[in-house]
Structure 1
Amino acid sequence: MRLTLRLAGIVLAAGFFSPALAQTELKFGHVGEPGSLFEASANKFAEIANAKLGDKAKVVVYGSSQLGGDDELLQKLKLGTVDFALPSTVMSSVVPAFGVFEMPYLVKDRDHMKRIEQEIVWPTLAPAAEEKGYKILAVWENGFRQITNNKHPINTPEDLQGIKLRVPKGVWRVKMFQSYGANPTPMAFSEVFVALQTGVIDGQENPLAQIASAKFQEVQKYLSMTGHVYTPAYVVVGKNKFGKLDADVQKALEDAARETQAFVYEKAAELDRDLAKVIEDAGVKVNEVDKDAFIKASQPVYDEFAKEVSGGKDLIDKALALGKSS
């Protein structure tokens, strides 16, 4: 009798606490370090989403590649072991058309990017990603990319001759830097600091927010403000698993992701203004570059993309046309 009562008490206790225990954890993995734009963006999204979700589910953010690098996170989205990721360049390895954002100096500013989002991302790129099993909830930002290295300041493409430069996975970034004469090496972001520190590579290219938060200024001598590529970042979920969530949870997450974009762009602009000085104050020499020389040297990459990627020329022409009113 005493055992029966004890078991009944355990069952009642379990029933009493089950709502809290049953709350679904939605894992958001990204590669950004503390202080990065990715961290700020993902945390803001979690704040907005969790306010909308109440006790239905909870978004929990895992940064610093805790759940894997970009490739691994994309795999985990399909497996359903991660719920959100924030890929950028790597999306061109999923759908070649995303490589349009690898074209140097294509995106002029964030207003231009907003037009590209509405006219190209949602009608063309997002459906192509869904065919591969990925659903894009929102377009955020990685940013305008700059070059750091330990050899010398980069003023023109010729200054990149022979530089061992880490790039993210994506065929067009490799082709671009090869055309400039560099020796580009795809590498996971989490491996870059040690590779720079040990001299395995001479330099890398990233937005200032990624450079500063990863403390590359501690192992680099020169920062050249090339602004060679603007990379969006995408809030991506696995299509199958996301589709199994309750409709109201799906809507709350989609709304939160899109509402976060204004914060992302404002924060990104703030970091662009402030971080060059932070990096310079750490002892890194900062220089402007001859952008006209880089633009001229970039034409072969445009030509190859237009030739190799189905619909590539139309994507380029449309994106460039959308920039004329910026």
Structure 2
Amino acid sequence: MRFKGLIAAAVLAVTGMVTPALAQTEIKFGHVGEPGSLFDQTATEFAKRANEKLGDKAKVVVYGSSQLGDDKAMLQKLKLGTIDLALPSTIMSSMVPIFGLFEMPYLVQDRDHMAKIRDEIVTPTLVPEAEKAGYRIIGVWENGFRQITNNKRPIVKPGDLAGIKLRVPSGEWRVKMFQSYGASPSPMSFSEVFVALQTGVMDGQENPYAQIYPSRFYEVQKYLSKSNHVYTPAYVVAGRSWDKFDPEVQKILQETAVEMQPVVYEIAAGLDTELLKKLEDAGMVANEVDTAAFVEASKPIYEEFSAAVPGAAELIQKAQSLAPAK
């Protein structure tokens, strides 16, 4: 009898009636943040929440530290369908011109203001423009309020940036902004910034505290100027592979990305306070900037962007109208 049972099992295996367990679908989620960064913390929390809901349907796996490439490479891979989700920020202004709205200095006053802009401008107006370009935005998160670091001198007024070689992310308006302040800005992949600062190829860079500290820029930068010159959102973006997912999986990913929006702001606000102190404790010399002088020096950028991008002037005006009363 035992021999007959073995024969039966072998027949079943050969004929395909015994099927192996299906491998769980992996949803690849890439970002450029280092461990401990806002990107790292928020993407990890998203994956945890989504995976609890997904069960055995699929699993979100996060790849940080530019493991899947820089932002440009990841956006290309989204279009090819070789990765599933990414968390780009500034580079979206190079992909979809109207996203240059968030390159306008001092446009976003605080996170409550950004939440209104998200709901009344980004979701109804910018998201459809991104979709036309092949990018499905399922959540609007944060990169943060950006600060200037360098090895030359404290930056108090725009003129103090004169001649400083400053790394900036890819995005024409960030380059133009710092050129107008007198700096020498150069776009560079985030993964290359530390070595560029260490070797003196670049004198400085600008990023939120939640990128500056986890990337250990305090080891290669002396001055930290609290400029808050630009607030950059981050976008949870899906690409070509989205349509291959079961509708229930799509729903869970979309709902979890939106559910994370207020959580991201909460985490980011805590990091701003915590990481500024850590940067100062690490030896960086922090200073306030003359915000009014920067705002005044930024007017030409608003004018140029409004003239260059259809609909920009109206969106700027609307965003400004949503600002809290002073």
Once residues 152 and 87 of structure 1 are traced to their aligned partners in structure 2, the CA distance between those partners, rounded to angstroms, is 30
Report the counterpart of residue 269 of structure 2 in structure 1: 269
Once residues 72 and 184 of structure 2 are traced to their aligned partners in structure 1, the CA distance between those partners, rounded to angstroms, is 22
Matches within 5 A, 1:150-299: 150-238=151-239, 240-299=240-299
- Distance apart, 1:36 and its partner CA: 0.2
- AA matched with 2:264: V
- Distance apart, 1:68 and its partner CA: 0.4
- AA matched with 1:50: N
Q: Could you tell me the TM-score, scaled by structure 2's length?
A: 0.95
Q: Which runs of 5+ in 1 are unaligned?
A: none
Percent identical among aligned pairs is 64
Once residues 13 and 47 of structure 1 are traced to their aligned partners in structure 2, the CA distance between those partners, rounded to angstroms, is 36
- Distance apart, 1:325 and its partner CA: 4.2
Structure 1 residues 7, 160: CA separation in 2 closer, same or farther (over 3 Å shift)?
A: farther
- AA matched with 2:60: V
Aligned residues: 323
- AA matched with 2:104: M
Report the counterpart of residue 104 of structure 1 in structure 2: 105
Structure 1 residues 7, 149: CA separation in 2 closer, same or farther (over 3 Å shift)?
A: farther
Once residues 134 and 52 of structure 1 are traced to their aligned partners in structure 2, the CA distance between those partners, rounded to angstroms, is 24
Contact 2:83 2:241 in 1 (8 A): no
Contact 2:12 2:18 in 1 (8 A): no
Q: Could you tell me the TM-score, scaled by structure 1's length?
A: 0.95
Once residues 267 and 324 of structure 2 are traced to their aligned partners in structure 1, the CA distance between those partners, rounded to angstroms, is 25
Once residues 138 and 11 of structure 2 are traced to their aligned partners in structure 1, the CA distance between those partners, rounded to angstroms, is 45
SS at match of 2:146: strand
- Distance apart, 1:268 and its partner CA: 0.2
Decide which of 18, 21, 25 is 1:18's aligned counterpart: 21
- Distance apart, 1:244 and its partner CA: 2.7
SS at match of 2:313: helix
Structure 1 residues 131, 13: CA separation in 2 closer, same or farther (over 3 Å shift)?
A: same
SS at match of 2:21: helix
- Distance apart, 1:78 and its partner CA: 0.6
SS at match of 2:148: strand
Once residues 101 and 35 of structure 1 are traced to their aligned partners in structure 2, the CA distance between those partners, rounded to angstroms, is 25
Once residues 145 and 43 of structure 2 are traced to their aligned partners in structure 1, the CA distance between those partners, rounded to angstroms, is 19
- Greater shift, 243-252 or 187-196, is seen at 243-252
Structure 1 residues 14, 40: CA separation in 2 closer, same or farther (over 3 Å shift)?
A: farther
SS at match of 2:154: coil
SS at match of 1:213: coil
SS at match of 1:185: strand
- Distance apart, 1:261 and its partner CA: 1.4
- AA matched with 1:241: S
Structure 1 residues 12, 254: CA separation in 2 closer, same or farther (over 3 Å shift)?
A: farther
- AA matched with 1:124: T
Once residues 218 and 68 of structure 1 are traced to their aligned partners in structure 2, the CA distance between those partners, rounded to angstroms, is 24
Structure 1 residues 224, 15: CA separation in 2 closer, same or farther (over 3 Å shift)?
A: farther
Structure 1 residues 90, 4: CA separation in 2 closer, same or farther (over 3 Å shift)?
A: farther
Q: CA RMSD, aligned part only?
A: 1.9
